[in-house]
A and B are shown apart, each in its own frame.
Chain A
Amino acid sequence: EAAVTQSPRNKVAVTGGKVTLSCNQTNNHNNMYWYRQDTGHGLRLIHYSYGAGSTEKGDIPDGYKASRPSQENFSLILELATPSQTSVYFCASGDRDRGQAPLFGEGTRLSVL
């Protein structure tokens, strides 16, 4: 069964600390995405990837890095976390070439204090 798994599900970090959010998909999808969801802004795209080794900037990439070491894994990295990055983060995978619409993970709730 197609699945997108995020870890951790909840995270509390301190300002200035490093945070890594992980995402694993078992769908063999080429495309993967990181979004954040905030009240009043909906879901906004941070970074995405076309495949292993590829990372692209989305609409709000500042303060975030991404890493796609393999087809299955896509990480979002906050090198110096700030309170403004407190949000719910969603990972998704999809495949344009196969016309497979994005599937979403359960989300990671991040609080930066």
Chain B
Amino acid sequence: GQQVQQSPTSLVLQEGENAELQCNFSTSLNSMQWFYQRPGGSLISVFYNPSGTKQSGRLTSTTVIKERRSSLHISSSQITDSGTYLCAMVSSGSWQLIFGSGTQLTVMP
């Protein structure tokens, strides 16, 4: 089965609203990473978060290794936040990333 379950698949917000994106992992993980991707664009690392909570501006990532879950909170969303957000678990052996299927976020004016 799929090792990384990401939800929701898509999300539409009005500008200024908050968003909560979730990832759940079916196996134990070494660490995890959140990426942002514009349509047709590359992946930009938003957070590399082994555990606990990290904040950068309006973005907050919380990873609870024991519970095999991670979340990305976006506060006061802006139109420029639109795009796809991907979470990935980092395997301890090969340091490879195993990706979720992504959340497509659309922020409307």
Contact = CB atoms under 8 A, between A and B. Distances in A.
Interface in A76-107: 90, 92, 94-96, 101-107
B90 A101 contact: yes
Interface residues of A, number: 25
B80 interface: no
B33 A101 contact: yes
A102 B35 CA distance: 11
Give the interface size class of chain B.
20 to 34
Q: Is the interface of A mostly helix, strand, loop or mixed?
A: strand
Closest 8 A-B residue pairs measured CB to CB? Answer: A96-B95, A101-B48, A104-B43, A43-B99, A42-B101, A106-B42, A42-B99, A31-B95
Interface of A: 31, 33, 35, 40-45, 48, 50, 56, 58, 90, 92, 94-96, 101-107
B33 A102 contact: yes
B94 A56 contact: yes
Contact of A42 (B31, B42, B90, B102): B102
A34 to B, nearest CB: 11
B96 interface: yes
Contacts of B33: 101-102
A45 B43 contact: no
